[in-house]
Structure 1
Amino acid sequence: MAQPPVIAVVGPTGSGKSDLAVSLALELDGEVINADSMQFYRGMDIGTAKITPAERRGVPHHLLDTLDVTQEASVSDFQQEARELISGIHARGKRAILAGGSGLYVRAALDVLEFPGTDPAVRRSLEGELEQAGPEALLARLRDVDPVSAGRVSDARRIIRALEVHQLTGRPFSSYMPQREYYQPTVQVGLSVDREALRERLALRVHRMVDQGLLAEVRRLDAAGLRSGKTAPRALGYAQFLRVLDGVATVAEATEDTIVATRQFARRQLTWFRADPRISWLDWQAPDLTAQAAAVCVNDAG
């Protein structure tokens, strides 16, 4: 028998993806696969708005709490793990439901996408050059070999990755960018938001996180090595509240900085997902949202 399409619930942070994924799973007999890269981390619960066991309502969830904060999240590892989970869920006769707003991770699971390898020695050499010559020198090199990537990247980590790929493969990093071609039949449901309402919701959510103990969570994770990780310490809220621990920001300042950064992130997510014409957009506040989404999942396949 043909496998049912993978379901993906996407949209900006704070739009209700986790809740809709659970409701769909209950409606369609499914299991949820997390595609929020910061929810991989054990202990990063309050600041990532990680769905609680009670909120999961008995629905199996996968790829939550799989990494320590000192470990680096890997899109290529996620791709392999997510696809294995999808196959296993479908083999059990269930529906696989991917939920999350980390755009590249969603694309890695759903689309035909090749990941070039890595080489620690090459990476260390480039990091040494970065320390000596600075990011502008490396960016100038990248412009020579891969002007497309040079126009897209801004931080040193991505510049190093693009140069590493070119050095290892002889191909520009930009040539590995995904095409809009599904790896297997897929239905994407996007949550269309009222932007002003979302702005207010995100501010309230950050204040709630602070009230729930975000600073104490960051302090515990700092003691567990948060700063030594390459991915986790850059997470929204955690980067800002580490500054409180360092005595260079107040809780009020870190709260406001987190609200601003979260709103900016939500705008970037909307831009990313709006660029994908395959997504079926539904009103995030529709009273029959689950029924609408279930109808899309039953009737459509990419």
Structure 2
Amino acid sequence: MQSMDPAPLVAVVGATATGKSDLAITLAQHLDGEIVNADALQLYRGMDIGTAKVPPEERAGIAHHQLDVLDVTEEASVAAYQREARTAIADIRGRGRVPILVGGSGLYVRAVLDDIEFPPTDPEVRERIEQRGEHIGAAALHAELAQVDPDSATVIGAGDMRRIVRALEVGELTGRPYTAFLPRPVHRDPSTVQIGLRLDRAGLHERIGLRVERMVHRGLLDEVRGLRGRGLDRGRTARRAIGYEQALAVLDGTMDCETAIESTVVGTRRLVRKQDTWFRRDHRVRWIDAAEPGPQLLERALAQLPGSPQRDHPAN
């Protein structure tokens, strides 16, 4: 590995099924790095097959962080993840290694990389505001928001009860406007490099179909059956994950396997479109073609890092 000062914070991002995990492991081998997960569902213990989590024996001895840190009954918190992931990155750098963030959960990626502060929440305050909203209606509650926080009222629609309630809650708890906490596309660490993997739609759809079939053959139903015994049905986030929701329906007899597979493929394609839209909006991402063979893909990725003589211009 060539010496780079300072060592970059590398993020591998993009849609599901583009090969982010494989590239991240190869980069970690080449750069003496460690990996930090930024896939919200891979935080959950036991959700392995349905999230395409890389098995330990296939991680090439590379340390992985923020995997298997939540039970399926727990609610994932992006604020808690932000704290833990940033701590992991600082520890990796303290060992003289390169941190490599990898995942397709856009808000989780930005929570680590960008100057984002997450305001506190209080269930009692929120419930009180929600009850008031039910009593007077969203438009009247929005008018109250306009009185105390006009900037936030401008960006929140008069019918968006959830965001109106949240803005009023944030204002009451912090004394600051809700807009003060909106994310800004500013990297906290100037050495950050975001590498995006892209694939044409036909190729991506083919990969998604094969991926879902592979999950079924590897035993997704058995995985979900075991997770149900650990409380999956009580997990607000986990039980609704694409593939897991359909598998639960199969186990309950409300959906047959063929329909479940089709529903999972359709749901994954919908997710991919959302991920693509999210990451495409970030003009700091340096895109490379995921269809390139492994050695060329690694070369293209390394070319994006500071100090590389082959550094490319960003692709739009």
Q: What is the aligned-residue RMSD (CA, Å)?
A: 2.7
Partner residue, 1:102: 105
Q: Percent identity?
A: 51
| Count of paired positions | 297
Partner residue, 1:236: 242
Q: Which residue of the other structure, out of 213, 218, 232, is the alignment partner of 2:219?
A: 213
Q: Which residue of the other structure, out of 48, 52, 72, is the alignment partner of 2:51?
A: 48
If you compute each CA radius of gyration, which structure gives the higher value, 1 or 2? 2
Aligned CA distance change for structure 1 residues 189 and 49 (closer, same or farther; 3 Å):
same
> Is 1:89–1:95's contact at 8 Å kept on the other side of the alignment?
yes
> Is 2:28–2:62's contact at 8 Å kept on the other side of the alignment?
yes
C-alpha separation in 2, matches of 1:152 and 1:45: 41
C-alpha separation in 2, matches of 1:159 and 1:247: 39
C-alpha separation in 2, matches of 1:289 and 1:29: 18
Aligned CA distance change for structure 1 residues 232 and 150 (closer, same or farther; 3 Å):
farther
Partner residue, 1:164: 169
Q: SS at 1:20's partner residue?
A: helix
* Deviation, structure 1 residue 2: 5.4
- 1:18 counterpart letter in structure 2: S
Q: Deviations over 1:145-201 (max 9, x none)?
A: 344664599896x67645533443355544422111111120000002111110111
Alignment map for 1:142-181 (pairs within 5 Å): 145=145, 146-147=152-153, 150-151=156-157, 161-169=166-174, 171-181=176-186
C-alpha separation in 2, matches of 1:85 and 1:152: 40
Q: SS at 1:200's partner residue?
A: helix
Q: Does 1:141 align with 2:144?
A: no
> Is 1:27–1:294's contact at 8 Å kept on the other side of the alignment?
no
Q: Deviations over 1:190-248 (max 9, x none)?
A: 00211111011101111111121112211221221112222212211112222223322
Aligned CA distance change for structure 1 residues 237 and 88 (closer, same or farther; 3 Å):
same
* Deviation, structure 1 residue 59: 0.6
C-alpha separation in 2, matches of 1:188 and 1:48: 22
Partner residue, 2:86: 83
Partner residue, 2:229: 223
Q: Deviations over 1:22-81 (max 9, x none)?
A: 000001110000000000000000110001112211111111000000111111111111
- 1:64 counterpart letter in structure 2: L
Q: Which residue of the other structure, out of 284, 292, 302, is the alignment partner of 1:294?
A: 302
Q: Which residue of the other structure, out of 252, 255, 274, is the alignment partner of 1:249?
A: 255
Q: SS at 1:48's partner residue?
A: coil
Deviates more, 1:83-92 or 1:16-25: 83-92
Unaligned runs of 5+ in 2: 146-151, 312-316
Q: Which residue of the other structure, out of 273, 279, 286, is the alignment partner of 1:273?
A: 279
Q: Which residue of the other structure, out of 68, 72, 77, is the alignment partner of 1:69?
A: 72
Aligned CA distance change for structure 1 residues 196 and 31 (closer, same or farther; 3 Å):
same
Alignment map for 1:194-209 (pairs within 5 Å): 194-209=200-215
Partner residue, 2:148: none
Partner residue, 1:39: 42
Report 1 or 2 for greater relative contact order, CA contacts < 8 Å, sequence distance ≥ 6.
1
> Is 1:111–1:181's contact at 8 Å kept on the other side of the alignment?
yes
C-alpha separation in 1, matches of 2:297 and 2:165: 43
C-alpha separation in 1, matches of 2:205 and 2:182: 31
C-alpha separation in 1, matches of 2:306 and 2:279: 21
Partner residue, 2:62: 59
Normalization by structure 2: what TM-score? 0.85
* Deviation, structure 1 residue 82: 1.1
Q: SS at 2:50's partner residue?
A: coil
